[in-house]
């Protein structure tokens, strides 16, 4: 059995296990000792997985857990690493001073990370509202609700048609729409949009960023009730009609307050942590062995002087 086949087999086994035990991805109360994978020599538990997940930013963890293949790959890697580590201990590799120093270094990094979280979590409580109000006035990013457009359209694509045929068909749609034919009938008879059965051509209220760039550009030029010319997008040719529009608006302070307070808290906690690190750097008892550091630096060999060029 080759490596690729073995990897695929492992992934399938773990995926089938995860499908049979959905609580692993959903139940926060699961026993940390729950076995996720094992061999005759090694076991991977939910606690091992949680330790590995601590390396993943919290905002990305839900997406990670939803992906069975990624989850299976991580469990596989934990199993491999634990097995290799056990083999290293059997061979007493961990007794080597250089390896012990590297292990201590990694332990220090993990503890430093959690000490940072601890310092920020336990920062003295202050009134964050003045900072939140300052952010509302000076940092408008994310504090506006973008304009939204309710658009009706017919799409004619180029599947099985020449460009000229598609243009002729969409032009016919536009003329019939201008003449007053019911939009629903035109959608039913002409549109190649796969969503037409559900929305009858009405895309609902969406931000311009949700549209194809050419579609968005045509949309923002329309007034409510207006019909566009023929618009070409990556999907084909369209005729649009703007049914409604909600202008962009800035959230009031009270609406944005929960977000602003979280941002103010983050800024304050980061400042507390930065000050804590500065205190360590500026410790009056700090001594640096500059002579030893200079000896550690590799020395470049001295190059012979360049021969002088005789003047003409």
Asked which of 63-67, 161-165, 266-270 is least confident by mean pLDDT, the reply is: 63-67
Q: Is the pLDDT higher at 166 or at 30?
A: 166
Task: Give the residue with greater pLDDT, 41 vs 5.
Answer: 41
Residue 12: pLDDT above 50? no
* Best CA proximity match to 269, nearest among 127, 120, 114, 116: 120
Q: Alpha helix (H) ranges present in the chain?
A: 3-20, 23-26, 46-53, 61-66, 68-90, 97-121, 129-138, 163-178, 183-190, 196-199, 213-220, 253-281, 290-296
Please, which residues have CB within 8 angstroms of residue 228's CB and are 6 or more apart in sequence? 218, 219, 221, 222, 238, 239, 240, 241
Query: What are the Cα distances from residue 48, in Å, to 36, 59, 89, 143?
Result: 9, 20, 18, 40
For residue range 100-118, list pLDDT tens digits in order. Answer: 999 999 999 999 999 999 9
Q: What is the DSSP string of 167-200?
A: HHHHHHHHHHHHTT--HHHHHHHH---TTHHHHT
Question: 143-147, 166-170, 212-216: which has the minimum mean pLDDT?
Answer: 143-147
- CATH fit for domain 144-249, picks 3.30.2310.20, 3.30.1360.30, 3.30.2350.10, 3.10.50.40: 3.10.50.40
Q: What is the mean pLDDT of residues 79-88?
A: 97
Q: Record the pTM.
A: 0.64
Query: Are 256 and 249 within 8 A, CB to CB?
Result: no
pLDDT of residue 61: 87
Tokens of 289: 């062995």
CB 206 within 8 A of CB 151: yes
> According to the model, what pLDDT value does residue 214 have?
97
User: Other CB atoms closer than 10 Å to residue 291's CB: what's the count?
Assistant: 8
Interatomic CA distance for residues 232 and 175, integer angstroms? 17
Residue ranges covered by each domain of the chain: 3-95, 129-140+251-281, 144-249
Q: Give the confidence band of 65 by pLDDT, cuts at 50, 70, 90.
A: confident
Please state which of the ranges 119-123, 177-181, 287-291, 295-299 shows the lowest mean pLDDT. 295-299
Q: Is the dihedral of CA 265, 269, 274, 276 positive or negative?
A: positive
């Amino acid at each position: 059995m080759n490596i690729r086949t073995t990897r695929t087999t492992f992934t399938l086994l773990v995926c089938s296990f995860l499908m049979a035990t959905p609580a692993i991805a959903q139940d926060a109360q699961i026993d940390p000792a729950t076995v996720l994978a094992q061999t005759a020599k090694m076991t991977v538990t939910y606690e091992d997985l949680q330790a590995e997940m601590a390396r993943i930013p919290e905002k990305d963890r839900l997406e990670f857990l939803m992906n069975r293949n990624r989850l299976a790959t991580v469990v596989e890697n934990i199993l491999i690493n634990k097995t290799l580590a056990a083999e290293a201990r059997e061979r007493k590799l961990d007794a080597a001073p250089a390896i012990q120093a590297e292990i201590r270094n990694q332990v220090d990094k993990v503890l430093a990370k959690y000490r940072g979280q601890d310092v920020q979590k336990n920062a003295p409580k202050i009134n964050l509202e003045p900072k939140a109000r300052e952010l509302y006035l000076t940092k408008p990013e994310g504090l506006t609700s973008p304009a939204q457009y309710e658009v009706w359209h017919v799409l004619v694509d180029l599947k099985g048609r020449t460009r000229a045929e598609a243009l002729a068909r969409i032009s016919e749609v536009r003329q019939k729409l201008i003449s007053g034919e019911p939009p629903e009938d035109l959608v039913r008879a002409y549109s190649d949009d796969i969503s037409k059965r559900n929305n009858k051509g009405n895309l609902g209220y969406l931000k311009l960023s949700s549209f194809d760039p050419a579609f968005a550009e045509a949309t923002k030029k329309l007034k409510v009730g207006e019909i566009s010319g023929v618009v070409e997008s990556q999907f084909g040719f369209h005729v649009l009609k703007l049914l409604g529009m909600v202008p962009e608006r800035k959230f009031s302070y009270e609406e944005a307050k929960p977000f602003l307070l979280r941002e103010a808290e983050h800024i304050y906690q980061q400042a507390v942590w930065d000050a804590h690190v500065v205190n360590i750097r500026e410790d009056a008892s700090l001594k640096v062995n500059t002579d030893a550091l200079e000896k550690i630096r590799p020395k470049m060999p001295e190059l012979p002087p360049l021969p002088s060029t005789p003047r003409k």
